[in-house]
Structure 1
């Protein structure tokens, strides 16, 4: 059964503490490894009924962007973008093709990969 944006909001709300929500965006922190956390945003693209999952790697000026692209190329999920000066790992999926159970895997892969890239390139946990 296809997932709706409302279903997804409920799924996230039950599992994580949302720190910012608008009509088409959810932002929250997700624990990763050890005492590290990762900031995550899920954007709804209503015209196409898609979601975009993104997680920050670091400020674009503070990371070696060439190395970031090389490391991201080893992943089978997402791609790197720079938005508002922040390097992000971003992945898109059609809500029509997802079940709520199917959301967790790409969501976890994006956040864990972004956290690993942040740790490897900056040694910090800013995002």
Structure 2
């Protein structure tokens, strides 16, 4: 069974960690065309003693993106859904931690979500803020 500590160690060895607490990590991934994308992974324990990983990546400041277009774009994603948290438009995806038999099962939704968030950020803002 994969633990939160396993996820932290996996991320630390592969990505540039920008910020870290006991329950979340914020780090940067390189994307296409010399762009980068920030991503956060939160450890969310549940009442049954299991846990979840919430992966999120910013698309732009919510007041600077077309919400209708963001929802249309999010509807094309295989993983993730659109949300606004603290004024930031995000793509978010959640996976059960205990179901990750290998950390590569974390990597695939992570990279898919980040690629979509970066493409949406580029289309909706024409910037690379996140």
TM-score by length of 1: 0.96
Q: Say whether 1:119 aligns with 2:122.
A: yes
C-alpha RMSD over aligned residues: 0.8
Match of 1:51 in 2: 53
- Write out the 4+ residue segments of structure 1 that deviate beyond 2 Å after TM superposition: none
Give distance in 1, aligned partners of 2:104 and 2:82: 25
> What whole-Å deviation, never above 9, does each CA across 1:65-111 have from its counterpart, x for those lacking one?
00110111011111010000000000000011112111110000110
**Which sections of structure 2, spanning at least 5 residues, go unmatched?**
none
Number of residue-to-residue matches in the alignment: 126
Give distance in 1, aligned partners of 2:119 and 2:30: 12
Match of 2:76 in 1: 74
**Which sections of structure 1, spanning at least 5 residues, go unmatched?**
none
TM-score by length of 2: 0.94
